């Protein structure tokens, strides 16, 4: 795998944004159709109604779009679009004649390209409205939803007090986000002032804003940029992030959904829907409790204690990573997810050691390591079993290396039989059964809940964290 106090928002803006997202959270029964659309087309609402389908491009995340334990789709965008679906079906009595919203998962950086290519009809995500984006798509927005893009740091960073203090710093942001565009604009002004440019690092496309906040909270990432309303909510559960609101990277921008420019009927319909949104004061707490519950946040592999844990075993991860064809840091990230690198850990099901493998699995014919009580044998058995899963079930050339890794992790957690069922369900849903992210992970969540999805996601974030730490250490050594 490759790893590639001036502008405080007023309370009314926060409430308006909360309102836009949550006005209609009423536990509505909603059945997600299992057949996603495979064809590409760019039709307007009249023709979409004939198809009885409007496709919404969504990001799979803990807030925008996910499945509950019983397979029910939820999230901010689901709640909003369920109400829009009601508007579309007003006066239609017969169920078979009703128009349905279909959710098409994609990564954030692909949302606009996928919309323009006809893979979806609405970008169901709150995009920042920028001139360059307005040249490509039309935005549906309540213009009073004004946001500010703020610098967010780990609490240990105390010397950022102005835009100029960003000169020469690394800033880690979402791939394809407006932050990249606005930081590049800032670099142009730095050039005129003969200041060193900001080093803009675009995150892996599978990482959402919430993932980057976790990395900042852990101290692995020192600086990022975020929309004020979003990070101020996450700050309630991430105690080690610092929001700098004395200046902004960009101030006074709007956010909204996106549609194609050649869809005036859909534009009119969505604008009518937006006008129906009314103010309610209880929504903030509902939003926070429903979508931003405290979770097992990522820890900091750069902390002395955590780094020492890794250093104690890194040679073994490298030895068996090399032997079985894995990145040593990816193997270490899995061990961290399994045991937090605590070899004495034992699960209630009897899994033991760093890799939390059942002794019976290790002793079986596919691994054939009868004793995994010692760290080296435990890592060797875990790596060998992971390689067995990859080579037996996911070695098809149609599956790229990154997804082979993700599928292997999923099978390590849920078993290969379940992953086979997940892939079959993904195919039935019109998703790509050979791609984990935004495809089979969606089927996984629908079928078995969030455990396996979060298992793979956590390992991926730990892997990125370890990789970033390694890059920082290498950079430090070279500078000496």
Q: Which residues belong to the active site?
A: 338
DSSP E strands in 141-294: the ranges are: 146-154, 170-173, 199-202, 223-227, 241-244, 250-259
Task: Give the rounded distance of the alpha carbon of 375 from its chain centre.
Answer: 33
Q: Is 127 helix (H, G, I), strand (E, B) or coil?
A: strand
Contact between 274 and 139 under an 8 Å Cβ cutoff? The reply is: no
- Angle, vertex CA 229, rays to CA 223 and CA 234, nearest 5: 60
DSSP E strands in 317-401: the ranges are: none
Contact between 140 and 267 under an 8 Å Cβ cutoff? The reply is: yes
From residue 226, give the alpha-carbon distance in Å to each of 134, 171, 213, 303, 313.
20, 11, 9, 24, 36
Residues composing the chain: 480
- Angle, vertex CA 160, rays to CA 253 and CA 207, nearest 5: 60
Q: Is 103 helix (H, G, I), strand (E, B) or coil?
A: strand
Torsion of the alpha carbons at 447, 448, 453 and 458, rounded to the nearest 10: 180
- Angle, vertex CA 246, rays to CA 241 and CA 251, nearest 5: 100
Q: Going by DSSP bridges, is the β-strand pair 73-74/100-105 parallel, antiparallel, or unpaired?
A: unpaired
Contact between 335 and 317 under an 8 Å Cβ cutoff? The reply is: yes
Longest dimension (CA), the chain: 73
183 CB contacts (<8 Å, ≥6 apart)? 171, 173, 198, 200, 225, 249
Q: What is the CA radius of gyration of the chain?
A: 23
Both tokens of 440, joined, read: 């089979």
Q: Is 59 helix (H, G, I), strand (E, B) or coil?
A: coil
Contact between 187 and 255 under an 8 Å Cβ cutoff? The reply is: no
Both tokens of 192, joined, read: 């005129």
- Angle, vertex CA 467, rays to CA 466 and CA 473, nearest 5: 90
Contact between 300 and 282 under an 8 Å Cβ cutoff? The reply is: no
């Amino acid at each position: 795998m490759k790893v590639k106090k001036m502008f405080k928002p007023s309370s009314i803006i926060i409430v308006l944004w909360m309102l836009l997202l949550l006005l209609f959270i009423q536990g509505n029964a909603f059945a997600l159709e299992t057949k996603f659309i495979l064809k590409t087309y760019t039709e307007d609402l009249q023709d979409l109604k004939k198809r009885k389908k409007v496709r919404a491009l969504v990001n799979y995340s803990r807030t925008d779009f996910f499945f509950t334990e019983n397979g029910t789709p939820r999230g901010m965008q689901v709640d909003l679009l369920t109400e829009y679906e009601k508007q579309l079906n007003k006066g239609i009595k017969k169920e078979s004649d009703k128009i349905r919203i279909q959710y098409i998962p994609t990564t954030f950086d692909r949302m606009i390209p996928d919309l323009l290519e006809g893979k979806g009809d609405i970008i169901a995500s709150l995009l920042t409205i920028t001139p360059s984006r307005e040249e490509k798509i039309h935005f549906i927005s309540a213009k009073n939803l004004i946001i500010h893009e703020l610098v967010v740091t780990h609490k240990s960073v105390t010397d950022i007090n102005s835009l100029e203090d960003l000169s020469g710093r690394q800033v880690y942001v979402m791939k394809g986000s407006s932050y990249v565009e606005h930081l590049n604009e800032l670099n142009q002004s730095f050039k005129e002032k003969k200041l060193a440019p900001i080093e803009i690092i675009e995150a892996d496309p599978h990482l959402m804003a919430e993932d980057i906040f976790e990395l900042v909270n852990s101290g692995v990432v020192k600086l990022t940029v975020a929309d004020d309303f979003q990070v101020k909510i996450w700050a309630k559960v991430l105690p080690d992030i610092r929001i700098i609101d004395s200046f902004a990277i960009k101030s006074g921008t709007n956010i909204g959904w996106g549609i194609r420019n050649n869809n005036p009927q859909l534009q009119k319909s969505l604008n009518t829907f937006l006008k129906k949104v009314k103010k309610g004061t209880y929504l903030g707490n509902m939003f926070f409790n429903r979508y931003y519950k405290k979770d097992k946040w990522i820890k900091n592999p750069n902390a002395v204690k955590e780094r020492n844990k890794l250093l104690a075993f890194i040679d073994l991860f490298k030895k068996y990573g090399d032997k079985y064809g894995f990145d040593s840091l990816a193997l270490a990230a899995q061990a961290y997810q399994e045991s937090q690198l605590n070899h004495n850990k034992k699960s209630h099901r009897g899994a033991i050691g760093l890799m939390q493998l059942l002794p019976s699995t290790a002793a079986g014919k596919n691994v054939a390591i009868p004793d995994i009580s010692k760290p080296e044998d435990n890592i060797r058995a875990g790596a060998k079993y992971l390689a067995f899963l990859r080579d037996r079930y996911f070695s098809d050339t149609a599956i790229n290396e990154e997804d082979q890794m993700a599928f292997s992790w999923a099978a390590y957690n849920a078993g290969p039989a379940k992953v086979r069922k997940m892939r079959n369900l993904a195919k039935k849903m019109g998703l790509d059964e050979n791609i984990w992210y935004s495809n089979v992970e969606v089927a996984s969540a629908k079928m078995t809940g969030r455990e396996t999805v979060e298992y793979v996601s956590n390992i991926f974030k730990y892997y990125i964290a370890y990789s970033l730490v390694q890059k920082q250490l290498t950079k430090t050594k070279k500078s000496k």
